[in-house]
Amino acid sequence: MTADDGLFALPEADHTPPGPPPAPAGARADAPLAVRMRPRSLTEVVGQAHLLHPGAPLRRLAEGGEAASVLLYGPPGTGKTTLARLMAAVAARRFVALSALTSGVKELRDVMNEARRHRDGQGRRTVLFIDEVHRFSKTQQDALLGAVEDGLVLLVAATTENPSFSVVSPLLSRLLVQQLQPLGEDDVRELLRRAVQDERGLGGAVSVTPEAEDALVRLAAGDARSAMTALEASADGVTGTGGTVVDVPAVERAVAEATVRYDRQGDQHHDVVSAFIKSIRGSDPDAALHYLARMLVAGEDPRFIARRLVVHASEDVGLADPTALQTAVAAARTVQLIGMPEARLALAQATVHLAMAPKSNAVIVGIDEAMSDVRAGAVGEIPAHLRHSRYTGARELGNGIGYRYPHRVPEGVLAQQYPPGGLVGKDYYRPTRHGGERDLRERLTRLRRVVRGEER
């Protein structure tokens, strides 16, 4: 299909290690379901097959193999803490957990001193699990370097952020980075069914209808912890009224809306925004509305969304549809004047408009090429007849002499040099054949011929 056809007219067998300290099996009966159902061995781990196949580095670590510090990078509820505990469960390793939210250099120093005492006195290796390591400052991350370098601790760091941006390079170079993926629907379904039947979980006290199970899977969005939380809340609501069947209404009463994995300061923020813009650029209004909805439900600042739409209107639509920028600016103004939730309508209108508009990047290509030339030194002297001439002595310098006033000719356009000498004939703006630029292309061709003296 071309632009001229009218479309844009305007697991395998495992070695089972002993239970990690403290063993999940020993979790209190009143602990959250997600804690009670934490896997006790690799045989119970669901998902992450790409990291846990036989011979994989992470699997060897969890089975007591080579001791290399690792960084587990992935969304919430994908097994980072579980894998850290499994690594501590072998070879008589100690397990110490710190949260970057509540720990500082002092706590790290205390852990290192204890790790040294256990290593030197008892020959026991310490597994140090640091959750949300991206929240550590550079100084705090640097404090880990020596202990990781000489093997004092086996560091297992977890983060939901891209480590390339959130972890300092010296520490990152000492860690084996393993990226975890959201659980698949079948993985979440397996965990739900296990939790319903297992004595550590609900012990068969309730049953879940297929439709309710589908709803729980959808709500979890690949997050095992969210799945367990939603199941537990649904089951509590049912058993609290003497029931034994978790159905869709029970799930809806317990869980208001789906888990939206979206960190306004992290990868999900950038990934969703990127998908939003690329869907608009790709002329898919339905996908664009989906990503817009994800941002709005997650609480993204509507002013940020509006700014992205304004930028996109010039960057990817441009003069192929001159009304696109007007629509985007109007949406941004609506956000300021009215606010949410009503402003979602204007944002959605602008999103659909931009997605369905003919596309052209000729404007951004033109200005970027011009700026590149300027930075490279292609500036040249401004022609004398274009220089400012309304000050004493300007005429003696030749300023303004020979300038031809276009309105003095009937056509309003005449032959005259406008760019510096070295840029005469340089075409920065090259209109496409899409939408309104089709007519602009023809008009610009004629204008250039006249202005450059190629025709009379």
**Res 265 pLDDT > 80:** no
Q: What is the mean pLDDT of residues 152-164?
A: 87
pLDDT at 327: 96
pLDDT band for 198, please (50, 70, 90 cuts).
very high
pLDDT at 355: 93
Q: For residue 133, count other CB atoms closer than 10 A to its CB.
A: 27
**Res 107 pLDDT > 80:** yes
Enumerate the β-bridge partners of residue 72.
Answer: 158, 178
Q: For residue 206, count other CB atoms closer than 10 A to its CB.
A: 18
Q: Convert the pLDDT of each residue in 67-103 to its tens digit.
A: 688 899 888 888 888 888 888 777 677 888 888 878 8
The better pLDDT of the pair 324, 388 is held by 324
Q: Is-contact 435 360, C-beta < 8 A?
A: yes
pLDDT at 7: 46
Q: Is-contact 309 347, C-beta < 8 A?
A: yes
pLDDT band for 278, please (50, 70, 90 cuts).
very high
Count of helix runs (H) and strand runs (E) in the chain: 20, 7
Q: Is-contact 182 75, C-beta < 8 A?
A: yes
Q: Convert the pLDDT of each residue in 199-213 to its tens digit.
A: 999 999 999 999 999
pLDDT at 91: 62
The residue behind tokens 């804690």 is: 35
The H-or-E segment that residue 154 falls in is: strand 153-159
**Amino acid found at 453:** G
Q: Is-contact 172 164, C-beta < 8 A?
A: yes
The whole-chain average pLDDT of the chain stands at 84
Alpha-carbon gap, residue 156 to 369, rounded angstroms: 47
The residue count for the chain: 456
Token representation of residue 361: 């990047």
Alpha-carbon gap, residue 11 to 362, rounded angstroms: 51
Backbone torsions φ then ψ of 188, nearest 5 degrees? -65, -40
pLDDT band for 220, please (50, 70, 90 cuts).
confident
pLDDT at 19: 35
The three-state secondary structure class of 362 is: helix
pLDDT band for 26, please (50, 70, 90 cuts).
low
Alpha-carbon gap, residue 190 to 46, rounded angstroms: 8
Q: Is-contact 178 71, C-beta < 8 A?
A: yes
The residue behind tokens 């056509």 is: 411
Q: Convert the pLDDT of each residue in 340-385 to its tens digit.
A: 889 999 999 999 999 999 999 999 999 999 999 888 888 888 888 8
Q: For residue 54, count other CB atoms closer than 10 A to its CB.
A: 12
**Res 12 pLDDT > 70:** no
pLDDT at 125: 83
Question: Which residues lie closer than 8 Å to 24 by C-beta, 6 or more apart?
Answer: 35, 36, 37, 38, 39, 40, 85, 200
Q: For residue 240, count other CB atoms closer than 10 A to its CB.
A: 8
Token representation of residue 258: 């789906």
pLDDT band for 6, please (50, 70, 90 cuts).
very low
pLDDT at 25: 45
pLDDT band for 321, please (50, 70, 90 cuts).
very high
Q: For residue 88, count other CB atoms closer than 10 A to its CB.
A: 25
Share of the chain above pLDDT 70, in %: 89
Alpha-carbon gap, residue 251 to 216, rounded angstroms: 7
pLDDT at 9: 45
Q: Is-contact 178 72, C-beta < 8 A?
A: yes
The three-state secondary structure class of 179 is: strand
**Amino acid found at 439:** D
The residue behind tokens 């063993």 is: 23
Q: Is-contact 119 125, C-beta < 8 A?
A: yes
pLDDT band for 263, please (50, 70, 90 cuts).
low
The three-state secondary structure class of 70 is: strand
How many Cα atoms are found within 13 Å in the side-chain-facing hemisphere of 5?
Answer: 3
How many Cα atoms are found within 13 Å in the side-chain-facing hemisphere of 146?
Answer: 9
Q: Convert the pLDDT of each residue in 414-445 to its tens digit.
A: 888 888 888 888 888 898 898 888 888 888 88
Alpha-carbon gap, residue 131 to 405, rounded angstroms: 70
User: What are the strands of the beta sheet with 176-179, ordered from one edge?
Assistant: 94-99, 126-131, 153-159, 70-73, 176-179
How many Cα atoms are found within 13 Å in the side-chain-facing hemisphere of 360?
Answer: 27
Share of the chain above pLDDT 90, in %: 29
Q: Is-contact 359 8, C-beta < 8 A?
A: yes
